[in-house]
Amino acid sequence: MKKFFAAAFILSSIAGAAQNVLQNAQIHGDFQTDFQYYLPDSSIGADTVPEKLLSNGYLNLLFTSGNFSAGVRYENYNNVMQGFDPRYKGSGIPYRFASYSHKDFEITAGNYYEQFGSGLLLRSYEERSLGIDNSLDGIRIRYKPYKGIYLKGAIGQQRFFFDKGEGIVRGLDGEINLNEFNNKWAASKLKVTVGGSFVSKYQADRDPIYNLPQNVGGWAVRTTLIYGNWMLNGEYAHKVNDPSTVNKMIYKPGEALFTSLSYSKKGFGITLSAKRIDNMNFRSDRSATGNVLTMNYLPALTKPHSYTLLAFYPYASQPNGEMAFQGQLNYKIKKGTKLGGHYGTDVAVNYSRANAIDMQKINDSTALMQSGTLGYTSDFFAIGDELYFEDINIEISHKFSKKVKGIFTWAYLTYNSDIIEGHTDGTFYSHIGVADVTYKITPTKSLRMEVQHLMTKQDEKNWANAMIEFTLAPKWFFMAGDSYNYGNPADDKKLHYYTTGFGYTKNSSRIAITYGKQREGIVCVGGVCRNVPASYGFLVTITSNF
Amino acid sequence: MKKLFQICIIAAIAIFTSCDVIEPPYTQTNNNPVVTDTVVRKVLLEDYTGHQCPNCPGAAIIAHELMELYPGKISLITIHAGLFANLASPNYMTDFRCTTGNDLNTYFGVDLIGNPNGTINRKEYSGSRIIGPNDWASKIAELLMLAPEADINTTHTFNTTTSTIDLTAKVDVLADFSNPIMISAYLTEDSIVDYQKNNDPAVGTTPEIADYVHMHVLRGSMNGTWGDTLCSGGATVGTQLSKTLSYTVSNASWNKDHMNIVVFIYDAATLEIIQTEEVKLK
């Protein structure tokens, strides 16, 4: 009888607890599916796709109740859309987690995303458009033992498509925000944050040729100083020998320095940044290439361009080595002046440059980057001669009237395709101009037009682009555009890449349908290239949040 | 609080000190014992490449290092397919592609992942059969530690007048198989001197090597990309199987003195290669 009452008591307690949990529970989620119907077009090199229709789909569900949360993501690739890694083929639940927090303590089991500092040693994240998901599957603990002190510990294996990578990732991170210690410091004009992290990976050595390190560790220190309008950021990371496919199996330790100084006040802002990367490819599998199983993130010090022709020659950080600098100046010309007009004019000038690092042979008989050696020596402050990328651009935004505003951009790009794409096509120099004008017909109707031109004597020579977009807020938009490679010396390559489409939004759901052609391109990371094939057809994108 | 910091410091030291700093020499000495076994496991390495792939000569060097490390135990097939195997004027007009290579490239999706890459016995690792060059060594080393599951003995004749190959493969089954077993016979050609792009000065001249020696180039299959059925209902230890193939080499430009026949058997359900054997055509 006692057992019966005990069991009844336990069951009622569980039911009561469950009821309490469910009473406060919330479920949120988002859904996205992209599917493309492919048409062959031999003129642009769009091959026949046997399935004709390819689709990528994602569903996120997040359950929260008080201090408890849990989530899953279902992914479906039937089959993988072109341009994405075909190893995603199939479907499943590659992401699921449960998390509990109590006061200053939080523990997560399952998949999680994490970043230490600026990510020089550890950043797991999802970037769906690039096919990147390097989430960790394991345990993460966050703890705030005292005001202003933040500690994190993580261990796990990284996602490898619908499986896990072989390596195990371990990391600790600590950050101290001095201004949170007491009220006096909180009121200080000087804000100081310092941090440090240790990250290591384990991967067994079964290689019969090389003596490989099974445990590869790295450490990093960082600080952020804010004084009035000034802000200084800096992080330095060091990694022990880590021979890998990307660094051609050399044993030199790696290091990275990222620093940024900025000043801003109303109508004026300036940022100067510098970066040195030396052999800092860091993956949980030494043989991985492309965007697979990356543990760290090396931010690119270049302005991300969104206009079609400005984004023709994008730069990606070179994990094997680069010295990069960037300066950005933002200035608002006051309204009522000759240049500012009635509404003022915004001017943004940006300059960025990435060069090789200095590399010297370790001795006369060993070639640079020779596998199974230290690879090279490098002077920390010396800049290599080879230019990887340079971008000088100016963007002027001006509102002409209540109905008309425009953004005008000019850029001069230098793009070393040999380094960035791993090709042997040399360096491309291009002038690009963009005019983007929006005409607001009524408060809910607007017309936006883009005219772009790219001029270069290399690669496929000159391109022109035009696009018109009509928005009927808040539900509809329609667009049509064309990129024309009119400067191509081969007549059969003077091709049009036209696109037309529309979108419809209702509540928190949206559907967009586009029809047209996409040019072929190459994406290369770490010496291995991925082909983004030319395509032609219909693309449908459906997104919904709830 | 004090205790927590102590734990953190200990954990940090534990992680930081768990670093293996390797001192020279960084490479191992070949201590592989001389093989005396009459039957050994052999591995098929398929290297997907292209003459316009600047990173591919480095992968070819890795493959040949492995063949030296494990003499007679690795059959190498170099498959030119995909974007980097396309023709380009003026130096890259030799077409190394073939139907079999294109089929394999499409089926395994190698081109969409990137070159250089390869398959090791077409075996799946963590859901993928595509293995990067710097992982070939460890994967091959693992496979070669396993006992052989079959022994292939081939005999063939080559009629120089008609360019006809008549080949008989006898297979002794050394393990139990529940799935059907397939047999394929591919033709490769060595020592083709032609242009190859290259971006690694440690390997050769950059940006291209004018007199690159292309080895183990896949020319085609004697019995289609996916071969023929050797036995349709699985096999048990001790079973002896046999297959006879006949094929006429129609391309007169191929140098028959430099050609090889690579015969391999594989599990029809998993596609994993069980055993391979390579012989010179002449």
Helices then strands (H, E): number in chain A? 3, 31
Q: What is the secondary structure of A412-458 as a DSSP string?
A: EEEEEHHHHTS-SS-EEEEEEEEEEEEEEEETTEEEEEEEEEEEESS
pLDDT band of residue A21 (cuts 50, 70, 90) is low
Is there a contact between B200 and A290 if contact means CB atoms under 8 Å apart?
no
Over residues A26-80, the pLDDT tens digits come to: 999 999 999 999 999 989 988 889 899 999 999 999 999 999 999 999 999 999 9
Nearest to B208 among A210, A424, A522 (CB): A424
| The pLDDT of residue A525 | 38
Taken as a whole, chain B contains a residue count of 282
Question: B15-42: buried (b, 16+ CB within 10 Å) or exposed (e) per residue?
Answer: bbebbbebeeebbeeeeeeeeeeeeebb
| The pLDDT of residue B155 | 96
Asked if residue A91 is part of any domain, the answer here is: no
Residues 6+ apart with CB under 8 A from A4: none
Nearest to B19 among A174, A216, A424 (CB): A216
Rounded to 10 degrees, what is the CA torsion of B230, B232, B233, B235? 0
Q: Is B109 on the interface with A (CB under 8 A)?
A: yes
Q: Which CATH superfamily is domain B40-148+184-225+252-280 in?
A: Glutaredoxin (3.40.30.10)
| The pLDDT of residue B10 | 66
| The pLDDT of residue B127 | 83
Least confident piece of the model among A11-15, A48-52, A452-456: A11-15
| CA dist., res. A252 & res. A247, Å (int) | 9
Q: Is B137 on the interface with A (CB under 8 A)?
A: yes
| The pLDDT of residue A130 | 81
Residue B182 Cα, gap to closest chain A Cα (Å): 25
| The pLDDT of residue B202 | 82
Cα dist. A102→A99, A106, A151 in Å?
10, 6, 15
| CA dist., res. B277 & res. B264, Å (int) | 6
Taken as a whole, chain A contains a residue count of 546
Q: List the Cα angle B118/A245/B126 in 5-degree steps.
A: 55
3 state DSSP class of A255:
strand
Q: What is the mean pLDDT of residues B225-233?
A: 94
Ranges of each domain in chain B: 40-148+184-225+252-280
Query: Where is pLDDT greater, at B229 or B234?
Result: B229
Q: Classify strands B74-80 and B43-49 as parallel, antiparallel or unpaired.
A: parallel
| The pLDDT of residue A523 | 52
Residues of B in contact with A217 (CB under 8 A): 15-19
**Is residue A493 pLDDT above 80, yes or no?**
yes
Over residues A495-526, the pLDDT tens digits come to: 999 999 999 999 999 999 999 998 876 553 33
3 state DSSP class of B207:
coil
Q: How does DSSP classify residue A41? A: B
Q: What is the mean pLDDT of residues B23-52?
A: 85
Q: Which amino acid is at B136?
A: W
Asked if residue A236 is part of any domain, the answer here is: yes
**Is residue B71 pLDDT above 70, yes or no?**
yes
The boundaries of the domain holding residue A215 are: 103-243+255-288
Residue A185 Cα, gap to closest chain B Cα (Å): 21
Cα dist. A426→A300, A359, B150 in Å?
21, 20, 50
3 state DSSP class of B70:
coil
Q: How far is CA A177 from the centre of its chain?
A: 27
Cβ atoms of residues A424 and A406 within 8 Å:
no
**Is residue A527 pLDDT above 50, yes or no?**
no
Work out how many domains chain A is built from and give that number.
1
| The pLDDT of residue B13 | 62
**Is residue A158 pLDDT above 50, yes or no?**
yes
Over residues A334-365, the pLDDT tens digits come to: 998 988 889 999 999 999 999 999 999 999 99
| CA dist., res. A391 & res. A494, Å (int) | 27
Over residues A104-142, the pLDDT tens digits come to: 999 999 999 999 999 999 999 998 878 889 999 999 999
Residues of A in contact with B26 (CB under 8 A): 210-211, 243, 251, 372-373
Q: Which of residues 480-539 of A touch B (CB under 8 A)?
A: 522, 527-531, 533
pLDDT band of residue B35 (cuts 50, 70, 90) is low
Is there a contact between B19 and A527 if contact means CB atoms under 8 Å apart?
no
Over residues B81-120, the pLDDT tens digits come to: 988 999 998 999 999 999 999 999 989 988 878 889 999 9
**Is residue A3 pLDDT above 60, yes or no?**
no
Nearest to A241 among B16, B22, B114 (CB): B22
Least confident piece of the model among A146-155, B123-132, B156-165: B123-132
| The pLDDT of residue A11 | 45
Q: What is the mean pLDDT of residues A382-391?
A: 95
pLDDT band of residue A529 (cuts 50, 70, 90) is very low
| CA dist., res. A384 & res. B32, Å (int) | 42
Give φ, ψ of A402 to 5 degrees: -60, -25
For chain A, what is the mean pLDDT?
91
- Residue B203's Cβ-count burial label (10 Å; 0-12, 13-18, 19+) is buried
How many Cα atoms within 13 Å fall on the side-chain side of residue B80?
25
Is there a contact between A424 and B54 if contact means CB atoms under 8 Å apart?
yes
**Is residue B69 pLDDT above 50, yes or no?**
yes
- Taking one residue from A and the other from B, the number of pairs with CB-CB distance under 8 angstroms is 173
Supply the pTM of this predicted model: 0.88
Over residues A36-45, the pLDDT tens digits come to: 999 999 899 8
Q: Which amino acid is at B119?
A: T
Q: Is A248 on the interface with B (CB under 8 A)?
A: yes
| The pLDDT of residue B4 | 59
Q: What is the mean pLDDT of residues B8-17?
A: 62
Nearest CA in chain B to A419: B199
Q: What is the mean pLDDT of residues A204-210?
A: 91
Q: What is the mean pLDDT of residues A428-436?
A: 97
Is there a contact between B142 and A368 if contact means CB atoms under 8 Å apart?
no
Q: What is the mean pLDDT of residues B49-58?
A: 93
pLDDT band of residue B14 (cuts 50, 70, 90) is low
Cβ atoms of residues A205 and B136 within 8 Å:
no
**Is residue B18 pLDDT above 80, yes or no?**
no
Q: What is the mean pLDDT of residues A468-489?
A: 96
| CA dist., res. B21 & res. A313, Å (int) | 39
Q: How far is CA B236 from the centre of its chain?
A: 27
Least confident piece of the model among A259-263, A317-321, A422-426, B63-67: A422-426
Residue B127 Cα, gap to closest chain A Cα (Å): 6
Q: What is the mean pLDDT of residues A217-235?
A: 96
Cβ atoms of residues B217 and B78 within 8 Å:
yes
Nearest CA in chain A to B82: A531
Over residues B164-215, the pLDDT tens digits come to: 999 999 999 999 999 999 999 999 999 999 999 998 888 899 889 999 999 9
| The pLDDT of residue A14 | 47
Over residues A276-299, the pLDDT tens digits come to: 999 999 999 998 888 899 999 988
**Is residue B7 pLDDT above 70, yes or no?**
no
Nearest to A240 among B1, B4, B19 (CB): B19
**Is residue B54 pLDDT above 80, yes or no?**
yes
